[in-house]
Amino acid sequence: MPVWMYILTIICVVISYMTMGIYYLWMYFMAFFPKVQYCEELEYKEDEMDIHFFVVIPCLNEEGVIVNTVRNTLDSKMKNLRIIVIDDDSEDETVARLTEAFGDEIFSVDSSTPFRPEFCNKKLTLIKRYKPDAQKGKGRSLNVAYWWIRNVAEHEGLKLSRCIMAITDADSFVNRRVFERTAVIMHTDPTVGMVQTRVRIGTFTRDRFLPLFQDIEFFTYINNMQNVCEYIGTVSAAGNGQFNRMSAIDPEEPWTDCLLEDFDFSLRLLLKGWRTRLLQEDRVFQQGVLTYGSFLRQRSRWSQGGLQCLTYWNEVKNSRYLSTYGKIYAVFFMILPIITLLAAFSQVISWFIFIYFLSTKQSILFSWFTLFPTWELVVVFGLITLFVFAPGLMYAVMYYKDTKENLLVCILAGIFQPIYNLLQVPAVLIAVWRQMTGKTNWVKTEHHEEVGRRIKHR
């Protein structure tokens, strides 16, 4: 065998052990932290907690879901709650659906129109953006909403510290308890700049395996990750179900063009000394991604956004607000796509070398195996199998305990978790390629209209 292949084999083995070791240690580490919960014993007192909620719903081609989302939010009957829908020059019937459904209840205005005091009178506002300014990322729409809220607060004499800019997706379902518990947190702790609630995939799409894996990922794995962040002070926004104190938002640059705008936003809050909190006692529901193509586009955008956040490396390293553990986590999250890429590269090369050895009959594996008794080989194989499948099964069981979903389905999902992890590898490759070639356009996640139990594609 050529010398270069020996060297390459050793390099791949080292990379595999390092990257897979980091992954499995992190999975087990997160699972055993006690859950931080702090809202169950705190009572929401509507008259005493003068909190104003401005629910912002960025919208692009959401005709199938936007009306139900707006209606659900209005039905919460929260005091001092207003909804701002930002339409990003939709090419479908989004605006028409909203106008038809809410009629005189909705106030419609172009984003280029100067603010006037009479704009404050409606509980539901539709702000329409148009090209060439539109369709340049979620952050641009959120900036328009931010300044709208600032103008409303100034006109009505509201304190920005008592105004909450809530961000939900166009396919979301949020119940009243989420608003009440967020109000309790913001009222009792003025140092909190952002609250992120737990996220679940709704029942409409959860009966399919790909969305089920996403639900386990969001509701259990990511929630455990956020729970660890509660201890080290680095809870990150997830975009959907994100509640921001207006006085904490930087007026010079509320949101950037980062493709992972939620993490970028929360990281900048942390670097300025604000606290970020996780609301585990309740959750916001959203649709799952149904097709692998849409899944790849979504995850490649998230991965590329993480790479873009590497520009904060020095600020994180020198921060006087982040703890040592908080800095380690922030850097780990930003380089996670790189770790995934290294792991995938080492695996592919390892497979190539393994196939080469077998095809050229140069493999020493079989001669090695004959040196050990069969029972020892069986034990080693069993340990390797347990090492590969245990994390997925562990989180599947935790998910079952939290949700009481079908136990057999949860176990099957746990068994296939390694395959789900591999499905995300191409997204990282796409993200790295896009970042290297300077492609930073926003790739939107597709949502579907709910018609009974069927999906109507638009």
pTM of the model as a whole = 0.88
pLDDT value, residue 38: 66
Identity (one letter) of the amino acid at 307?
L
pLDDT in tens, 81-106: 999 999 999 999 999 999 999 988 88
pLDDT value, residue 46: 72
pLDDT value, residue 455: 43
> How far is Cα 218 from Cα 304, in angstroms, rounded to an integer?
19
CA atoms 11, 333, 145, 295: torsion sign: positive
- Which tokens in the block code for residue 95? 């605006």
**Residue 280, Cβ density class (10 Å: 0-12 exposed, 13-18 middle, ≥19 buried):** buried
- The backbone torsions φ and ψ at residue 366, rounded to the nearest 5 degrees and listed phi first, read -65, -35
- Whether the CB-CB separation of 205 and 285 falls below 8 Å is answered with no
Domain ranges, ordered by start, for the chain? 52-206+236-292
CATH topology of domain 52-206+236-292: Spore Coat Polysaccharide Biosynthesis Protein SpsA; Chain A (3.90.550)
Identity (one letter) of the amino acid at 418?
P
Nearest-5° Cα angle at 32, 31 to 34: 110
pLDDT value, residue 246: 97
> How far is Cα 144 from Cα 138, in angstroms, rounded to an integer?
10
Q: For the chain, report the end-to-end CA distance as a whole number of angstroms.
A: 56
> How far is Cα 432 from Cα 344, in angstroms, rounded to an integer?
13
pLDDT value, residue 363: 57
- Which tokens in the block code for residue 215? 């639900």
Q: Which residues of 2-28 are buried (b: 16+ CB within 10 A; e: fewer)?
A: eeeeeebbeebeebbeebbeebeebbe
Partners of 84 in the β-ladder: 56, 125
Report, as ranges of residue numbers, the positions in the chain whose pLDDT lies below 70: 1-6, 9, 13, 17, 19-20, 38-42, 347, 353-354, 357-358, 360-372, 377, 450-458
pLDDT value, residue 371: 67
The percentage of the chain sitting over the pLDDT mark of 70, rounded to a whole number, equals 89
The bridge status of strand 192-201 relative to strand 242-245 is antiparallel
The bridge status of strand 192-201 relative to strand 124-129 is unpaired
The bridge status of strand 192-201 relative to strand 275-286 is parallel
Closest to 156 (Cα-Cα) out of 192, 189, 186, 120: 120
